[in-house]
Amino acid sequence: MKIVVDRAIPFIEGVFEPYAEVVYREGKDIGRDLLLDADALVIRTRTRCNRELLEGTSVRIIATATIGTDHIDEPWCRSRGIRVCNAAGCNAGGVMNYVFSALYGVASRKAVSLNHPTMGIIGVGNVGGRVQHMAEHLGFDVLLCDPPRAAAEGPEAFCSLDYLLHNSNIVTLHVPLNENTRGMVNASFFSRMRPGAFFINAARGELVNDDDLVAAIPQLGGVIIDTWNNEPYVNPILMEKVDIATPHIAGYSYQGKLNGTSAAVQAVARFLGIDALKDFYPVAEREDLLAQKLDLRGMNQGQITSVLQYNYPIFTDDFLFRMTPGSFERIRTDYRYRKEFYV
């Protein structure tokens, strides 16, 4: 068997070698010629898996060590019998940490009170659910908008997008990128938000119309952006105006990377019948980076801010990115994975 792997996936080198021929490449450099005789492809978001890359190859399974699959043409893959597996929920804790470290950090810098605010969460899957749990732990009121879940489970726990935007002090995006969500955050979206509300996007850049966001910023209380249109090329006007700008690293926790690699390896092992790896989980070489439980109840805003910044000093990531915005991919590749916290 032959397995092609994005070399930037951590904890994976040496795992498949006892059972298959393994070839490592940078994700952007994985080409069709390399896949002609490959059985499996293990990637991140930087490999566009479509007809151009895959037609005529022997690839039977694609495992992405990410929660998103918008870099994969799933309908085409299904039509060719290619299995697609993602690492659902692998980085949910890391993204939740990012949202609250950023929110409290910006609120502190701008002297904005977070006394019993309302957080509107758009998309309540693995990540949105973790954000909801943390918000409730902190005493926030929470509004949830997730039309697919509302249709499946009943509307009682959910509200419309219009209601959420009109009634939230903080709006955070956690939806997948698809034909229904692409460009959903536009001038109409911002016109329905409360003046002074915070806007957070740690989902996908293509959910947002950049020009409309730039125009809306003077009416917003704080803007936090981790994901961008046209990555790795960042809109410099937008970057200059937002309160926190980071290079798509919200989910880059140590625990999240362990989870993502585990999910990808297990998916390939189960599909190809590599019994020894069906329950694979990487050895945690840094026990000091394993997730830590926090209890923030009863703390005031300043104390919470201090604890969150101690556990994740997010302004360091913001500063490094602003100093070298052309190093988007290098910062991600060389990122020092951080310890997750949970409540």
Active site residues: 204, 231, 248
For residue 152, how many other CB atoms are within 10 A of its CB?
8
Cα 112–chain centre separation: 26
Measured between alpha carbons, how far is 65 from 335 in angstroms, rounded to an integer? 16
Asked if residues 44 and 249 have their Cβ atoms less than 8 Å apart, the reply is no
Torsion-angle region of 143 (φ positive above 0: left; ψ -120 to 50: alpha; else: beta): beta
Task: Let me know: does 314 contact 96? Beta carbons within 8 Å.
Answer: no
Q: Find the helix packing angle between 92-109 and 301-311, rounded to 10°.
A: 130
Residue type, 227: T
Torsion angle in degrees (nearest 10) through CA of 75, 180, 231, 45? -40
Q: What is the DSSP string of 315-329?
A: HHHHHHHHH-GGGHH
What do you get for the CA distance between the two ends of the chain, in Å? 43
Q: How far apart are CA 186 and CA 309, in angstroms?
A: 31
Cβ–Cβ contacts within 10 Å for residue 98, how many? 28
Q: Is 2 helix (H, G, I), strand (E, B) or coil?
A: strand
Task: State CA 86 to chain mean position distance.
Answer: 13
